[in-house]
Amino acid sequence: MLYGFTFLVLFQLVGEMLSRGLHLPVPGPVLGMLLLAVWCTVRRGVDDRVGRVALGLLRYMALLFVPAGVGLMLLGPVLREQGWAMLAVLVFSTVVTLLVAGLALHWMLKRFPGRGEDGQ
């Protein structure tokens, strides 16, 4: 268990060092997670010890939403004033994301024909 947790923290540390050292606009934990995904892809799998720790941490992920809920409660007046604008931006960004993803998929299917679900 200690190995898996240390492994995850080291990737977060490397991501944080890259983010701060290179003055990137991406948070360190996000870079660390990206590096971890690349590592797992290169190794073609996840170490069992890391996987067990990750599953254990995912069980408590709901606790991370508590601060967001408290923030929503404290910022009630701001939501009343600007809630519709925020909702419009969220809906617009979701639609744009879906369109871009659909166009990218359409382009990929045209570019690489004959590659179906069987991976051939």
- Give the whole-angstrom CA distance, residue 78 versus residue 62: 25
Number of compact structural domains in the chain: 2
Phi first, then psi: what are they for 24, rounded to 5°?
Answer: -85, 150
Contact between 14 and 7 (Cβ < 8 Å): no
**Collapsing DSSP states into helix, strand and coil, what is residue 116?**
coil
- Signed CA dihedral, 68, 69, 73, 76: sign only: positive
Residue 3 and residue 55: Cα distance in Å, rounded?
14
Q: Do 83 and 57 belong together in one domain? A: no
The pLDDT of residue 13: 93
pLDDT at residue 41 in the model = 87
What is the extent of the structural domain holding 58? Answer: 1-64
| Position 118 in a domain | no
The sign of the CA dihedral 88, 92, 98, 99 is: positive
The residue ranges of the chain whose pLDDT is under 50 are: none
Tokens standing for residue 79 = 């939501």
Q: Tell me if 11 is assigned to some domain.
A: yes
pTM for the model:
0.53
